[in-house]
């Protein structure tokens, strides 16, 4: 559904993207992880026909982004990381404008707009002015705008940035619905745990190079023997801390209010041994497992040393 | 025609423009200035007010104010058309739709010109007062309307060109005003200076009668809107240029040609994507509307 072959982009002497080879199958949700300036947005803009690659090829739904840009545009819904809205337009008029821009017949637009607003939970705002909506609502409206021509592929650049936790959850639920509808989604985010829950595959990009890519479990922690762990104890917290600090497989140990967080370099057998040592030291362990920020551990582990 | 009227950018722009109070205020202010200055002059000079059918000055003053207002309003309306989309961060989204850069540019021009045409049309009844004072032929009024229309088209295209070319609306507006000033005032000053210099250098060869009839100076005079305006108004304030061609016709043919050239440049920069939208945002100073 999405394929890039040796894709590169240079801005003068700056190499924003270098030899990117990516393949995303139909119906998959692909998460793009990387710090600012890593090349995520550049990749998305090339796939959205907004940027011309310096080298290589990119295909969306089988269409070449350079040779068949109109077909690519019809196949994608693109949401940039920052986007504005038009003043003095209501939600209905805003979607009607984009429906017109995709040449959707006027007699089909009302039903389409109603369906889209239902999907993004904005049916009650149909006559509200777009600039009066909250950031979260505008983001959901942006998502509805992406779907106005029923594209097979969604390219979402940091859709959750700047949203409060409730708005993030709402957005995530909508994305889950879209995944269930069979849309292929390319999404980037800084909120890594959110991607972990949503994505079938992830790609880690750093300094324009894809340094890890594949199914979440393949790229993940277990395969690389690195896990972000959380340990909670009821009593004897001090002893638990001592055991963890002495263990050579424990890295970056942090003592927090709710327990200990650390990166564990080892397999299942080593984990079991560590738990045994904690119990033997008299710590009443109430939780011993992977932290929800596990994808951050993947990212930190994989990018460790890149560009250093 | 149906396609033209259902163009989504036209519908959106007209909705946005005519919903704001600013539009009403601009129209009111325009009419107040257009009507207020000639009426004020009549009040100040009651002797002129009594000369019905003989006072051509009122026509001259009204036309000059009208032209000044067009020069002031039109670049301001178009110089933010594309750069405004870029600043509002809506241009990227627009470029991923099925609208071509050509459609976007033309629609922006048409909507801006539609509003300017409204200003022009709304102020035309003021000329009934001017006609009352006479010394104006219907032919002159028709020529004047055509002259204004050509200027609106040219200045609108110039503003849009600057808006496409320059990233920020404020800089684009200043540049559009600067180029318009060079065109309106600069060419006129160049015409006078060159004529005067030639007379000073060789008074015998370039006498008063000869110098203003030189073909090179006539062409320079023919592209200057102020000289053409005064030629339409048959005013004697200008030097006695004996045009070898009809100045208003020359002007009306030349400027749409220039306007087409401006659009060709806009289109080329839009379609080749020489420096694309995103690069514009990432590399300050570069600019155009474009995509793959």
Q: Report whether A39 contacts A208 (CB < 8 A).
A: yes
Cβ within 8 Å of residue A293, ≥6 positions away:
A192, A193, A228
- Closest CB from B93, B279, B292 relative to A69: B292
ipTM for this prediction: 0.77
Q: Which residues of B touch A131 (CB under 8 A)?
A: none
Q: Which residue has the tokens 């985010």?
A: A189
- Distance, in Å, from the CA atom of B79 to the CA atom of B172, rounded to the nearest integer, reads 6
Q: Report whether A158 contacts A79 (CB < 8 A).
A: no
Quick: pLDDT tens for B85-110.
889 889 889 999 998 888 888 888 88
What confidence tier does B283 reach under pLDDT thresholds 50, 70, 90?
very low
pLDDT at B257: 63
- If you ran DSSP here, which 8-state letter would residue A158 be given? S
Tokens standing for residue A154: 């969604």
Q: Is the pLDDT of residue A292 over 90?
A: no
The backbone region for A20, taken as left when phi is positive above 0, alpha when psi lies in -120 to 50, beta otherwise, is beta
Query: What are the DSSP calls for chain A, one per residue?
Result: -EEEEEEEEEETTEEEEEEEEEEE-TT-EEEEE--TTSSHHHHHHHHTTSS--SEEEEEETTEETTT-HHHHHHHEEEE-SS----TT-BHHHHHHHHHHHTT--HHHHHHHHHHHHHHTT-GGGTTSBGGGS-HHHHHHHHHHHHTTT--SEEEEESTTTT--HHHHHHHHHHHHHHHHTT-EEEEE-S-HHHHHHH-SEEEEEETTEEEEEEEHHHHSHHHHTEEEEEEEESS-HHHHHHHHHH-TTEEEEEEETTEEEEEEES-HHHHHHHHHHHHHTT--EEEEEE-TTHHHHHHHHHHTTTT-
Q: Which residue has the tokens 């080593």?
A: A270
Q: Which residues of B touch A70 (CB under 8 A)?
A: 98
Q: Is the pLDDT of residue A299 over 90?
A: no
Q: Which residues of B touch A99 (CB under 8 A)?
A: 8
What confidence tier does B266 reach under pLDDT thresholds 50, 70, 90?
low
Nearest CA in chain B to A53: B292
CA distance B89 to chain A (A): 5
Count of pairs with CB atoms under 8 A, one residue in A, one in B: 95
Q: Which residues of B touch A50 (CB under 8 A)?
A: 92, 95-96, 276-278, 291-292
User: Quick check: B277 contacting A, CB < 8 Å?
Assistant: yes
Q: Which residues of B touch A208 (CB under 8 A)?
A: none
CA distance B12 to chain A (A): 7
Q: A201-210, B123-132, B183-192, B217-226: lowest mean pLDDT where?
A: B123-132
Q: Three-state SS for A129?
A: strand
- Distance, in Å, from the CA atom of B31 to the CA atom of A161, rounded to the nearest integer, reads 47
Q: Report whether A130 contacts A85 (CB < 8 A).
A: yes
Q: A13-27, A85-99, A226-240, B21-35: lowest mean pLDDT where?
A: A226-240
What confidence tier does B287 reach under pLDDT thresholds 50, 70, 90?
very low
Q: Is the pLDDT of residue B132 over 90?
A: no
For residue B274, which of B256, B292, B262 has the smallest C-alpha distance? B292
Q: Report whether B108 contacts B86 (CB < 8 A).
A: no
Number of neighbours of residue A176 by Cβ within 10 angstroms: 13
The mean pLDDT value for A171-192 works out to 84
Q: What is the mean pLDDT of chain B?
A: 78
The mean pLDDT value for A182-186 works out to 92
Q: Which residues of A touch B9 (CB under 8 A)?
A: 97, 101
CA distance B159 to chain A (A): 21
- Distance, in Å, from the CA atom of A46 to the CA atom of B228, rounded to the nearest integer, reads 50
CA distance B183 to chain A (A): 34
Interchain contact, A103 vs B291, CB within 8 Å:
no
User: Quick check: B15 contacting A, CB < 8 Å?
Assistant: yes
User: Quick check: B208 contacting A, CB < 8 Å?
Assistant: no
Q: A127-141, A227-241, B244-258: lowest mean pLDDT where?
A: B244-258
Q: Report whether B144 contacts B257 (CB < 8 A).
A: no
What confidence tier does A96 reach under pLDDT thresholds 50, 70, 90?
very high
For residue B105, which of B161, B150, B153 has the smallest C-alpha distance? B161
CA distance A271 to chain B (A): 47
């Amino acid at each position: 559904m999405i394929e890039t072959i040796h894709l590169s982009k240079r801005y003068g002497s700056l190499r924003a993207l270098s030899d990117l080879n990516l393949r995303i199958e139909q119906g998959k949700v692909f998460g793009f992880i990387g710090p600012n300036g890593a090349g995520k947005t550049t990749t998305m803009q090339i796939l959205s026909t907004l940027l011309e690659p310096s080298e290589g090829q990119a295909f969306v739904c089988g269409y070449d982004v350079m040779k068949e840009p109109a077909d690519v545009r019809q196949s994608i819904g693109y949401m940039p990381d920052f986007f504005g809205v038009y003043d003095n337009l209501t939600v209905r008029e805003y979607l009607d404008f984009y429906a017109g821009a995709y040449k959707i017949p006027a007699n089909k637009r009302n039903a389409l707009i109603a369906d889209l607003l239902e999907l993004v939970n904005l049916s009650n705002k149909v006559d509200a002015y777009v600039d009066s909506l909250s950031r979260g609502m505008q983001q959901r409206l942006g998502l509805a705008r992406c779907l106005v021509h029923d594209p097979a592929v969604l390219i979402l650049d940091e859709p959750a940035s700047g949203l409060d936790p409730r708005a993030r959850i709402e957005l995530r639920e909508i994305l889950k619905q879209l995944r269930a509808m069979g849309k292929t989604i390319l999404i980037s985010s800084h909120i890594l745990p959110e991607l972990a829950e949503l994505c079938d595959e992830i790609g880690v990009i750093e300094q324009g190079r894809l340094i890890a890519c594949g199914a979440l479990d393949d790229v993940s922690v277990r395969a690389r023997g690195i896990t972000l762990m959380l340990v909670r104890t009821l009593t004897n917290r001090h002893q638990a801390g001592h055991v963890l600090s002495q263990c050579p497989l424990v890295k970056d140990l942090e003592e927090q209010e709710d327990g200990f967080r650390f990166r564990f370099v080892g397999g299942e057998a080593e984990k079991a041994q560590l738990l045994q040592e904690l119990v033997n030291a008299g710590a009443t362990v109430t939780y011993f497992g992977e932290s929800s920020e596990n994808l951050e551990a993947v990212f930190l582990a994989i990018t460790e040393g890149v560009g250093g | 025609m149906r396609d033209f009227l259902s163009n989504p950018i036209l519908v959106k722009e007209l909705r946005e423009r005519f919903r704001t109070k600013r539009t009403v205020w601009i129209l009111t202010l325009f009419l107040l200035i257009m009507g207020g200055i000639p009426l004020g002059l009549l009040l100040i000079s009651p002797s002129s007010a009594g000369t019905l059918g003989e006072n051509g000055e009122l026509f001259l003053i009204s036309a000059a104010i009208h032209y000044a207002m067009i020069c002031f309003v039109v670049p301001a309306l178009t110089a933010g058309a594309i750069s405004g989309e870029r600043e509002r961060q809506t241009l990227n989204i627009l470029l991923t739709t099925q609208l071509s850069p050509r459609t976007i540019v033309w629609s922006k021009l048409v909507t801006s010109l539609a509003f300017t045409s409204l200003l022009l049309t709304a102020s035309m009844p003021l000329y009934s007062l001017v006609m009352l004072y006479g010394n104006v032929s219907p032919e002159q009024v028709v020529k004047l309307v055509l002259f204004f229309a050509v200027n609106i088209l040219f200045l609108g295209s110039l503003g849009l060109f600057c808006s496409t070319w320059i990233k920020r609306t404020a800089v684009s507006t200043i540049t559009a005003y600067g180029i318009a000033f060079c065109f309106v005032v600069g060419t006129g000053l160049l015409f006078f200076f060159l004529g005067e210099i030639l007379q000073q250098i060789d008074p015998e060869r370039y006498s008063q009668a000869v110098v203003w009839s030189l073909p090179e100076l006539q062409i320079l005079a023919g592209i200057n809107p102020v000289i053409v305006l005064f030629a339409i108004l048959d005013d004697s304030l200008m030097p006695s240029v004996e045009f070898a061609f009809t100045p208003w016709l020359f002007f009306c043919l030349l400027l749409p040609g220039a306007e087409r050239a401006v659009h060709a440049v806009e289109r080329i920069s839009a379609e080749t994507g020489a420096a694309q939208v995103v690069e514009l945002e990432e590399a300050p100073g570069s600019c155009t509307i474009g995509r793959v």
